[in-house]
Each structure stands twice: as C-alpha cells, then as structure tokens.
C-alpha cells in the first residue's frame, strides 16, 4: 500500500518502479496494452492515458487484470477532460468515478487535473484519498511558460501526495526557471516538473537531478503524449538521467535547428566510453542572450555553437584561438576555471584532416560551393595549406567577400606559402577541372528541398567531399560515385570536429572510433 506509515509515496515508487514513467496512449484497450507490454522492456512505471481510449470506464478492468498479473508494475491512471488538454469528453463525476475505480483496482497513482480538483466537492476528493492509490494533482499549460510557483500554490492547498507542473518552454531560460523552481520546492514537497517543447529538453533530462520525484517518457514506438517527450531508453541510455548528480558537468549544442543533430549521441557516447561524469544536451535557441543566461546560471562547462550563433557569440568571449579570430566564427566554447568563456574553431581541422589523409593540398585546385560558415572554414583552411581555391555561391557578394578576406587575412598580404582564393562564375565551373569539389551548402541535407548544389554535368573533379552528413549518402556523393569519382562523406568532418571539441573540454584523447561507430549506426538506421 502506498500510504504505509513507514514509507513515503515517492520512496515507494522509487523502490518499486524507478523514476522514469512511460506515458501510454491507445484508442482501444488492446492497443494500449500492447504498448504497455513493449514499454516494460524500458520501465516498470507506466501511465495509462485512459482519456485516449474510446470507452475509458470499460477499460479499467482489463488494464487492472494486466497489472494484477505483473505485480512489479507501478501505474498511473489519467483521464483528463477535453477542456483541459485531455481526450475525455465526459463529465467531472464520470472522470472521478473512473479514477476511483482505477485507484481501487491496483493503480499506484491517480492524476487529477487542477481544474477538476477545483470543481470537486471536499467529499469527492476524500473518496479518492480513501483508496490505496496516491493522489497526484497536475497543472498543464500547452502554450505558455507560466510561473510554476503560482500553479504550485493552486495545487498545494489540496495537499496531494504529488504536485505535477507542466508548462511550455519557448526559450532555454524558461527551462532553467522551471529547474530552479524544482530545486527549491523539492526540499519540502514531492514535485514533478517538465517544460514541454524543443527548448524544454533541458528540463526533461535534468529534472531528476534538480529534485523531481520522477519524470515522463514516451512509448518505445515514439508515440509522444506531449511535445518534446523522449523514450525511456533515450533518457536512460543516451542521457543516463539516473546517474546525473551535482558533480555532473553539462555541455550542449546550441542553435537552431538542432532537432536532428547527432552531436548529443556522439558526445554522450564518448563521455560514457571514457567514464566521464558529464552530459551533453540539445539547446534550441536563436538568441545569444538566452544561451548566455543558461551558461551562467545552470551552469554549462562547454558548448558546441551552430548557426545562427557562431558570429553573435564572439563579443562575449574572453579570448579566442587564432583560427576563430581569423574566421570570425566560433563553434566551440569552453568555460574556464576563472568563469570566463573561451572560444575555439574545430571546423577547419574537421575539413582539412580528412583531405590531407588522401592528398597534398599545396597547389591543389579546389572548388568550394557556398559562402556560409562551413565554406568559410574550408576556404581559410585550404588557403592556409597552399591550395588554389575557387568559390561559387548563389550569393555572389558573399562569395566575393569570402575570397577577398581569405586571400589576405587580417588585411595583410599573403605569404608566399599561402594559397589563393577567388570567386568563380557558374558558367566557368563547367570549363574547369578541379582536384577537389567541396559542398559547403545545405543542399542534400535531411529536409532540404534542393538535392544538388550544381547539376552533375556542370563540374569535373577527382575527389568530392560533401560536408552534409545526414543523410550519410547524399545525392551529390551518389552522383560522384556513379561517375567513378572518389568521395569523402560529411560524417568524417562531423566526427573529427566533434572529437577535437571533446579533447578541448576534457583534456583527454577522444574515442574517435567509438564516436564514428555510433554516428554511422544512427545514420544507417535512417536517423
């Protein structure tokens, strides 16, 4: 029984089922039970969203039978009404009747939304309390990042066993505010806090560390019951949330978009392999102020910086390495022991080293497609190695600016050992021969509408290097191989720059083979 005098509801749940609850939906009893059976491989703690079932009152008995046959499961019954974000179209009394039946049938907890609790009579709530199930009262806001303390005060006057606050994060700061609230309130109450949405991933991974009694995950098939929800396996194996503590160093990849980034998989696998107490998170943000607030107040130990922040972050760094200064772009930040931020650029090494494994770059004729951050790293690195670089971009002015700045870095004349950079017209590309073609545009990337930066017949090269790594085999690489041309996949650049980041952060050699293995496996699975 949950209300045994010697053990709290939270302690009982932790001892029985752990702290990651898998939320389950299904339009029929058969569907939700099938998902429950699969979910048991990841967690013994399950939430049955009865409001997703066509006839929830009739569903309680067969689900209770399922639970009775599996004594190690702890289950939550939820039957949220439609006006409050659920799927149940019945009345308050019908909802209460379903929850009471569930509580009397072996469910460990019942979840009552705050709006229903406020409509209830004291006797209705007392009937729920008289059962063996613990009472969780929940607040949800599916649009805004509300003050969790105000929601807590609404709930706490009913003195439930658990208080659940769920809001929607639009910024990293929203997630941080919720985490700080969990830390403060978990001292004297059993709270569960989650920020929904992509910017709320931080809260999902770090909520247990902050003091949340438990957290929620999606079913193994990825059927989310809330935006931003991850599977229990992802939370436990990729982010190792059960092992995070106050000594855990926190890193992340910041920018937008980052939903499909494989950096969290790559870096967390490296931390795990080297037994480093650290976690690496996706940090969706478009503003440098939002990121820096998280850096200072979480705090973060290091960051991978992606677009649109690679230039915006520069004024906020105490110092940068020569490459970052030359490129005017930073992709790696390390928090110093003095509390200052230091910037590095590992993109150049990620492009140059795979090429140098295959050829000498001095005097090599290289065509770079694009004029953005990746192209900039490629051009500067190639010129520094003595290559003759031609740049083409749909944005001709950007290509001209890049050629001019790379040809005479910092306004100084090029040294004799340096290569050269020039802007090339599209019609001239077909009449030229190149040793290397580098695609530094998003063409061919997962979700990009343009498969090729140039048509196949428009260029001639002996080697093609596509910096796009997802998908593994881009349309450009396939076209090159069809013509018998050697290729380099973008995954080489991605892993190498990530390995260099790992080394800058940890001072240890990166497990590059392991990093490559997990990224290749994910890409082959069609991540």
Q: Do 209 and 74 have their domain in common?
A: yes
Residue 413 scores a pLDDT above 50: no
Q: Do 179 and 126 have their domain in common?
A: yes
Distance CA 12, CA 103 (A): 16
Burial 44-54 (b: 16+ CB within 10 A, else e): bbbbbbbbbbe
Cα–Cα separations (whole angstroms), residue 394 to 85, 404, 425, 443, 447: 46, 17, 10, 12, 20
Question: What's the whole-number mean pLDDT along residues 341-368?
Answer: 96
Q: What is the pLDDT of residue 412?
A: 47
So which residues are the catalytic ones?
Answer: 310
Adjacent-strand bridge partners of 331: none
Distance CA 437, CA 429 (A): 11
- Assigned domain for 351 exists: no
Q: Do 156 and 272 have their domain in common?
A: no
Residue 500 scores a pLDDT above 70: yes
- Assigned domain for 2 exists: no
Q: Do 127 and 43 have their domain in common?
A: yes
Which domain CATH number covers 31? Answer: 3.20.20.70
Helix (H, G, I), strand (E, B) or coil at 274: coil
What is the residue whose two structure tokens read 């650049």? 493
Q: Do 95 and 17 have their domain in common?
A: yes
Q: What is the pLDDT of residue 358?
A: 96
Tell me which residue of 160, 101, 98, 156 sits closest to 131, measured CA to CA.
101
- 274-288, 412-426, 463-477: least confidently modelled range: 412-426
Which domain CATH number covers 481? Answer: 3.40.50.720
> Which of 214, 243, 272 is a domain's end point?
243
Strand 365-369 versus strand 434-439 pairing type: parallel
Q: Do 80 and 229 have their domain in common?
A: yes
Q: Do 303 and 422 have their domain in common?
A: no
Q: Do 375 and 332 have their domain in common?
A: no
Q: Do 120 and 262 have their domain in common?
A: no
- Assigned domain for 350 exists: no
The total number of structural domains that make up the chain: 3
Q: What is the pLDDT of residue 15?
A: 67
Contact, 105 vs 64, CB < 8 A?
A: yes
Adjacent-strand bridge partners of 218: 231
- Assigned domain for 262 exists: yes
Q: Do 184 and 68 have their domain in common?
A: yes
Q: How much of the chain, in percent, has pLDDT values that exceed 70?
A: 95
Q: Which residues have CB under 8 Å from 33's CB, separation 6+?
A: 26, 62, 63, 66
Q: Do 78 and 226 have their domain in common?
A: yes
> Which of 223, 243, 263 is a domain's end point?
243
Distance CA 516, CA 493 (A): 10
Containing domain of residue 315, as a range? 249-345+496-524
Distance CA 313, CA 157 (A): 45
CA 315 to chain centre: 26
Question: What's the whole-number mean pLDDT along residues 306-321?
Answer: 94
> Which of 192, 208, 243 is a domain's end point?
243
Q: Do 193 and 276 have their domain in common?
A: no
Report the 10 Å Cβ neighbour count for 410. Answer: 7
Q: What is the pLDDT of residue 14?
A: 65
Report the 10 Å Cβ neighbour count for 19. Answer: 20
How open is the CA angle 447-235-502, to the nearest 5 degrees?
A: 75
* Backbone torsions φ then ψ of 77, nearest 5 degrees: -105, 125
Question: What's the whole-number mean pLDDT along residues 410-418?
Answer: 54
Q: How much of the chain, in percent, has pLDDT values that exceed 90?
A: 86
- Assigned domain for 352 exists: no
In the structure, what pLDDT confidence band is assigned to residue 16 with cuts at 50, 70 and 90?
low
């Amino acid at each position: 029984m949950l209300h045994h005098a010697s053990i709290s509801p939270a302690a009982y749940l932790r001892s029985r089922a752990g702290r990651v609850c898998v939320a389950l939906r299904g339009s029929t009893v058969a569907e939700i039970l099938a998902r429950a059976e699969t979910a048991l491989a990841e967690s013994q703690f399950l939430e049955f969203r009865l409001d997703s079932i066509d006839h929830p009152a009739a569903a309680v008995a067969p689900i209770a039978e399922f639970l009775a046959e599996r004594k190690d499961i702890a289950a939550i019954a939820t039957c949220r009404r439609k006006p409050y974000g659920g799927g149940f179209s019945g009345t308050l009394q019908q909802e209460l009747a379903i929850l009471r039946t569930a509580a009397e049938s072996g469910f460990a907890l019942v979840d009552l939304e705050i709006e229903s609790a406020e409509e209830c009579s004291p006797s209705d709530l007392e009937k729920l309390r008289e059962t063996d199930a613990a009472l969780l009262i929940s607040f949800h806001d599916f649009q805004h990042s509300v003050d969790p303390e105000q929601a807590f005060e609404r709930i706490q006057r009913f003195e439930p066993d658990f208080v659940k606050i769920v809001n929607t994060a639009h910024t990293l700061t929203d997630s941080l505010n919720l985490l700080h609230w969990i830390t403060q309130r978990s001292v004297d109450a059993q709270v569960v806090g989650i920020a929904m949405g992509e910017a709320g991933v931080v809260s999902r991974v770090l909520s247990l560390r902050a003091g949340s009694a438990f957290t929620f995950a999606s079913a193994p098939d990825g059927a989310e019951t809330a935006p931003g929800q991850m599977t229990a396996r992802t939370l436990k194996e990729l982010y190792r949330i059960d092992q995070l503590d106050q000594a855990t160093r926190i890193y992340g990849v910041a920018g937008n978009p980052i939903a499909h980034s494989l950096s969290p998989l790559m870096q967390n696998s490296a931390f795990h392999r080297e037994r480093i107490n650290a976690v690496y998170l996706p940090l969706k943000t478009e503003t440098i102020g939002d990121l820096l607030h998280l850096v200072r107040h979480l705090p973060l130990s290091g960051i991978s910086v992606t677009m649109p922040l690679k230039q915006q972050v520069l004024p906020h760094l105490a110092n940068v390495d020569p490459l970052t200064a030359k490129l005017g772009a930073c992709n790696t930040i390390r928090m110093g022991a003095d509390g200052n931020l230091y910037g590095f650029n590992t993109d150049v090494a990620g492009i140059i080293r795979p090429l140098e494994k295959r050829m000498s770059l001095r005097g090599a004729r290289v065509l770079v497609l694009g004029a953005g951050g990746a192209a900039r790293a490629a051009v500067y690195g190639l010129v520094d190695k003595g290559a003759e670089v031609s740049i083409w971009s749909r944005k001709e002015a950007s290509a001209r600016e890049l050629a001019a700045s790379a040809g005479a870095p910092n306004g100084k004349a090029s040294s004799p050992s340096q290569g050269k950079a020039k802007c090339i017209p599209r019609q001239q590309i077909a009449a030229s021969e190149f040793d290397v073609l580098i695609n530094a545009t998003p063409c061919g990337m997962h979700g990009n509408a343009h498969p090729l930066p140039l048509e196949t017949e428009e260029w001639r090269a002996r080697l093609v290097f596509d910096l796009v790594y997802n998908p593994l085999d881009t349309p450009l690489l396939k076209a090159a191989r069809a013509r018998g041309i050697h290729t380099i996949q973008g995954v080489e650049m991605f892993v190498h720059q990530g390995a260099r980041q790992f080394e800058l952060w940890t001072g240890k050699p990166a497990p590059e083979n392991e990093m490559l293995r997990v990224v290749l496996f994910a890409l082959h699975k069609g991540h």
